[in-house]
Chain A
Amino acid sequence: MTDTTEKAAVKTTTGAASTAPSPAPAPRGTRVWRGVTPWLFLIAPLALLITFTYAPVANMLAYSLTDWDGVSPELRYIGAENYAEIFTREDLFRVFFVSGYYLVASAVQIVAALYFATILSFNVRFRNFFKGVLFFPYLINGVAIGFVFLYFFQDGGTLDSVLNLFGVESDRAWLGTPVSANTSLAGVSVWRYLGLNFVLFLGAIQSIPGELYEAAELDGANRWHQFRHIIAPGIKPVLTLTVILSISGSLSVFEVPYIMTGGATGTETFVIQTVNLAFRFGKTGLASAAAVVLLLIILLVTWIQRRLVPDDKVDLV
């Protein structure tokens, strides 16, 4: 808050300073030029922003009220029919339940990331090695991850071989039933994204001044107390941000299930369904309505987060 006011103060003084040294008012041409200059810098970014963000959102809202197939030259207005279809047709609605698996996975992921970030911010041998190992999956190409895990869950693949080592005779298709397939895919998502949460938490924990721990230790606090009373409050903003990102992430899962199962055996997610509707079955209108619903849910979640944690870091000005 103080930062912004200071900023404003600086702004006005510099504004005055830039005109002060010139004895006579700047000639008309210069003034016009000065007014145009910022726009010369902004013209390309704004054009791209409007073309690829705002125009699509506006079009999408319009398409969602039609039964357009994406090709025909005429659009027929059908009102809220598409929306009614989404919420009444069970096969369209089902994708929301698939998100449930990813939501549970996110919770597991956040707890695990928190645990590893906490222990690795204290003195541990081979710390940098463990940090690297935990973070690296996040950087790997999604298609490569899809293939690695297709092989992992194959009959006689990695997982079965490991279980055999421990004497567990497993003869099951891990991607064969909706429950086990979705659980497996959600597990892959934890494997892939744990590193990002971990690094975010690590950064937040490291910004907590070290003296706090020393003081707490003198007072006889153990590790759990330190976590509970120093670390947890210290990283609260990052933690809520992560929760929000996880919720919107769970709703917009696409890559790994699409690559691994193509959405078969009940693993179809919201985005896979939308892509299929629009680009495979030519139901652009219905797909747009679905996308609007997803967008609204994500905006709602973000809004709730802003209410819960007033985030003073997001002032762009």
Chain B
Amino acid sequence: MTRRTVARALVYLSLIAATVVVLLPLVVVLLTSLKSEREMTRSGGALSLPDNLLNFHNYVSAFRDGEMLSAFANTAVILLVSVGGTVLIGSMTAYAIDRFTFRLRKLVVALFLVAALVPGVTTQVATFQIVNSFGMFDSLWAPIALYMGTDIVSIYIFLQFVRSIPVSLDESARLDGANAFTIYRKIIFPLLKPAIATVVIVKGITVYNDFYIPFLYMPSEDLGVISTSLFRFRGPYAAHWEVISAGAILVILPTLIVFLSLQRFIYNGFMRGATR
């Protein structure tokens, strides 16, 4: 009996330790973001509480000087277009592959499958030349095209769902005179809602957080997305940890809100998306 109690206590102890390890760095940054410049130099240590818990001065500087407004706007545009495109392209691909038998179908499937094995980071040097030759370098189109590119994970998720939609639905619609496009638009697409939610979440978080692609393809300052704009804090604020912290919290906050409101869907989305 006592052994069991000890085991339970150890389990909780490990969970609490993990919670501290995860939250401590974040909480300290939150505290730092609320301190004034003078408090920072007074060196009360990183763990000390700020004098005024409602001192949002640093947030104002970070938001204004870091041009976070245009960063959020750019991110929003890229996010909307590329997530919308991914949903459209993924569902069309899945529909065509699952509902039609045509010559070269096996080859098409193989092309998508093999592409899944090529990690994006390895081909970036050559991809850069192609994006450049289209004149998309240093424009919002570069990340949009690359994100839409071909997201194998989303195609796979859609394929799973298209398969679960009974073919008899297509057939009865066809007897009523619907063509393939009407069937896709009126029957398949609406029934894919759960899959669309999954893809929107997984893809949305990936795009919001990506640093590599916007960093390489959009060096202009006015084309900053949230990652690259935040990255630029390094230079001008090098020693001003209170402003950098405020910027970091500004970027994390939307993620936290989305996570808390959609928790269950997010877990499911990642389980479905990542296991492939």
**A positions within 8 Å CB-CB of B:** 7, 10-11, 14-15, 17-18, 21, 35, 37-39, 41-42, 44-46, 48-57, 59-60, 63, 70, 115-116, 119-120, 124-125, 128, 130-144, 147-149, 151-152, 154, 156-158, 160-162, 164-165, 191, 196, 199-200, 202-203, 223, 238, 241, 248, 252, 254-255, 259, 271, 274-275, 278-279, 284, 287-288, 291-292, 294-295, 298-299, 302, 313-314, 316-317
Contact = CB atoms under 8 A, between A and B. Distances in A.
21 contacts: A37-B100, A38-B96, A38-B102, A44-B89, A48-B89, A49-B150, A53-B118, A119-B14, A119-B15, A134-B22, A139-B209, A140-B252, A141-B227, A141-B230, A143-B228, A148-B248, A199-B267, A199-B270, A252-B121, A275-B216, A316-B113
Contacts of A149: 25
Contact of A42 (B11, B92, B233, B249): B92
Contact of A48 (B11, B113, B148, B208): B148
Chain A facing B: main interface SS: helix
B60 interface: no
B26 A15 contact: no
Given A52-B130, A133-B22, A298-B122, A313 B276 contact: yes
A46 B111 contact: yes
Contact of B259 (A124, A132, A291): A132
B93 interface: yes
A158 B24 contact: yes
Chain B facing A: main interface SS: helix
A234 to B, nearest CB: 14
Contact of A158 (B25, B106, B267): B25
Contacts of B129: 56, 59, 70, 284
Given A42-B108, A56-B130, A152 B25 contact: yes
Interface in B227-244: 227-228, 230-231, 233, 241, 244
A248 B121 CA distance: 11
Interface string B235-274: 0000001001101110110011001100100110011001
Listed residue (A11, A51, A143) with the most chain B CB atoms within 10 angstroms of its CB: A143
Contact of B174 (A18, A51, A53, A291): A18
Contacts of A130: 15, 18-19
B119 interface: yes
A211 B25 CA distance: 41
Contact of B271 (A41, A60, A116, A203): A203
Given A45-B89, A314-B276, A147 B230 contact: yes
B89 A294 contact: no
Contacts of A128: 263
Nearest to A187: B21
Interface residues of B, number: 99
A165 B123 contact: no
B233 A147 contact: yes
Given A45-B155, A128-B263, A294-B122, 15 more contacts: A63-B125, A70-B129, A125-B12, A142-B209, A147-B230, A148-B29, A202-B271, A203-B267, A223-B7, A252-B119, A291-B122, A291-B123, A302-B117, A316-B112, A317-B106
Interface string B167-205: 100010011000110001000000000000000000001
Interface string B67-103: 0000000000000000000000110110111001110
B115 A49 contact: yes
Contacts of A46: 108, 111
A134 B24 contact: no
Interface in B33-66: 43, 45-47
A272 to B, nearest CB: 11
B1 interface: no
Given A45-B150, A151-B245, A55 B130 contact: yes
Given A132-B263, A133-B22, A316-B112, A259 B274 contact: no
A48 B145 contact: yes
